[in-house]
Amino acid sequence: MKARAFSYVRPATLAEAFDAFAAAGGEASYIAGGQSLVPALALRLQAPECLVDIADIAELRGISQEGEWLRLGALTRHVEAHDDPLIAACAPLLALAAPHVAHPAIRNRGTLGGSVALADPASEFPAMMLAMDAEMEIAGPAGRRRVPATEFFQDLYQTAIEPGELLVALHIPLARPEHRCDFDELARRRGDYAIVGCGVMLALPQEVVSEARIAFLSVGPTPVRARAAEAALTGNRLDGDATRRAQAALSEDLDPAEDEQVPAAMRLHLARVLLGRLLGRIAGAA
Ligand SMILES: Cc1cc2nc3c(=O)[nH]c(=O)nc-3n(C[C@H](O)[C@H](O)[C@H](O)COP(=O)(O)OP(=O)(O)OC[C@H]3O[C@@H](n4cnc5c(N)ncnc54)[C@H](O)[C@@H]3O)c2cc1C
């Protein structure tokens, strides 16, 4: 199958992009790396009349430290999350998750903004925005705002981005020296979407967990923060008992849907296995 015919514009500024989107009367789609949108066009799951290509908008690029935050322009590519030294130093969880996203050819073109805006619940980067307590900068004809990750992911493929608006940048609090983090996922084959994935970010100042953030992917319609598991760890030494309590608490946090291929009970079990593995690795390395 081939995509339906569409017009194509490549604006140089945000204002031009908003105008081009509005001119198409709601029948436009923004395109960034095209790694999700182009297959959807080819399968006619989406058939916009106009594609507004945001690749030339300079404001959507760049990786920089701004005070206590790392700013990643929405057009930052997956491969940069993997290779960039500033990301490795300031947002190591992103660098750990990046190799699990798809394959090198897709990582060369796919953007962080595209992945987070699409909000596929099986995607690695949206869940890591939750684990890192990131904020999403959104701009549109009516202005600009920053939305915390906890409010950004609203439902299946539904985010705080309104039609016509663009995700401009991701703002991530800098990792501090006492932070320890790790990421892993279980997939049938490396590069496949995960059956379940998890990112963990702990503050471990003196072997006691003073802050815990745990986010799962592929366990529901949105990425999920595991608040009960976080509470089970906070204020405790990171030992076997605390790990078991956190694993048990996941039944309060996760409510995966029944699925022919992966029953809900199995997905919950795998989430516990994954969390235990990650906490064990962090404890071993601390
Ligand atoms: C074979 C294959 C395997 C894959 N495996 C994985 C995987 O394991 N894990 C994973 O996470 N992903 C995977 N992907 C998806 C891939 O990571 C995509 O690149 C990513 O989801 C979207 O980024 P993009 O820049 O290509 O966005 P596009 O495809 O260009 O756009 C995706 C959507 O986001 C919107 N959009 C893009 N940028 C913005 C913006 N700045 N503001 C507002 N809206 C925007 C577009 O309008 C569109 O609706 C896979 C893709 C393929 C083809």
Q: Indicate whether 62 and 167 sit together in one domain.
A: yes
101 CB near ligand 1 (under 6 Å)? yes
Residues 101/107, Cβ–Cβ less than 8 Å: yes
Residues 210/204, Cβ–Cβ less than 8 Å: yes
Q: Indicate whether 194 and 252 sit together in one domain.
A: yes
Q: Indicate whether 276 and 204 sit together in one domain.
A: yes
Ligand 1 atom closest to the Cα of residue 126 is 11
256 residue type, one letter: P
Q: Indicate whether 202 and 221 sit together in one domain.
A: yes
In sequence order, the 6+-apart residues with CB closer than 8 A to the CB of 110 are: 33, 35, 36, 77, 78, 101, 102
Final residue belonging to a domain, choices 31, 53, 75: 53
Q: How far is the CA of 22 from the centre of ligand 1 (A)?
A: 22
Tell me, yes or no, whether 223 lies in a domain: yes
Rounded CA gap, 183 and 162, in Å? 30
Q: Indicate whether 167 and 190 sit together in one domain.
A: no
Q: Indicate whether 207 and 236 sit together in one domain.
A: yes
Displacement of CA 200 from its chain's centroid (Å): 13
Tell me, yes or no, whether 1 lies in a domain: no
Rounded CA gap, 8 and 132, in Å? 36
Q: How far is the CA of 115 from the centre of ligand 1 (A)?
A: 4
Q: In this predicted model, what pLDDT tens digit does every residue of 186-215 receive, in sequence order?
A: 998 877 889 999 999 999 988 899 999 999
Residues 156/61, Cβ–Cβ less than 8 Å: no
Tell me, yes or no, whether 2 lies in a domain: no
What is the phi/psi pair of residue 194, to 5°? -75, 150
Final residue belonging to a domain, choices 142, 173, 204: 173
Is the pTM for the entire model greater than 0.75?
A: yes
CATH number of the domain encompassing residue 201:
3.30.390.50
Interior angle at CA 67, CA 65 and CA 73, nearest 5:
35
- How high is the pLDDT of residue 286? 72
Q: How far is the CA of 213 from the centre of ligand 1 (A)?
A: 25
- How high is the pLDDT of residue 219? 97
For 192, the token pair is 């496949």
Low pLDDT (below 70) residues in the chain: none
Domain ranges, residue 11: 7-53
Pick from 72, 84, 170: nearest CA to 130: 170
Pick from 34, 222, 172: nearest CA to 111: 34
- How high is the pLDDT of residue 285? 85
Best of 118, 128, 186 to mutate for ligand 1, by most ligand atoms within 8 A of CB? 118
Q: Indicate whether 202 and 259 sit together in one domain.
A: yes
Q: Indicate whether 255 and 212 sit together in one domain.
A: yes
**Which residue's CA lies nearest to atom 21 of ligand 1?**
115
Q: How far is the CA of 96 from the centre of ligand 1 (A)?
A: 19
Q: In this predicted model, what pLDDT tens digit does every residue of 233-243 receive, in sequence order?
A: 999 999 999 99
Question: In terms of DSSP bridges, do strands 28-31 and 50-53 run parallel, antiparallel, or are they unpaired?
Answer: parallel
Per the structure, the count of domains in the chain is 3
Q: Indicate whether 62 and 21 sit together in one domain.
A: no
Burial 20-50 (b: 16+ CB within 10 A, else e): bbeebeeebbbbbbbbbbeebbeeeebebeb
Q: Indicate whether 145 and 75 sit together in one domain.
A: yes
CATH number of the domain encompassing residue 14:
3.30.43.10
- How high is the pLDDT of residue 26? 81
Best of 8, 30, 36, 43 to mutate for ligand 1, by most ligand atoms within 8 A of CB? 36
Pick from 12, 32, 10: nearest CA to 77: 32
240 CB near ligand 1 (under 6 Å)? no
Final residue belonging to a domain, choices 173, 189, 214: 173
- How high is the pLDDT of residue 193? 85
Cα distances from 79 to residues 83, 87, 100, 107, 113, in angstroms, run: 6, 11, 11, 5, 13
185 CB near ligand 1 (under 6 Å)? no
Q: Indicate whether 185 and 118 sit together in one domain.
A: no
Q: Indicate whether 64 and 46 sit together in one domain.
A: no
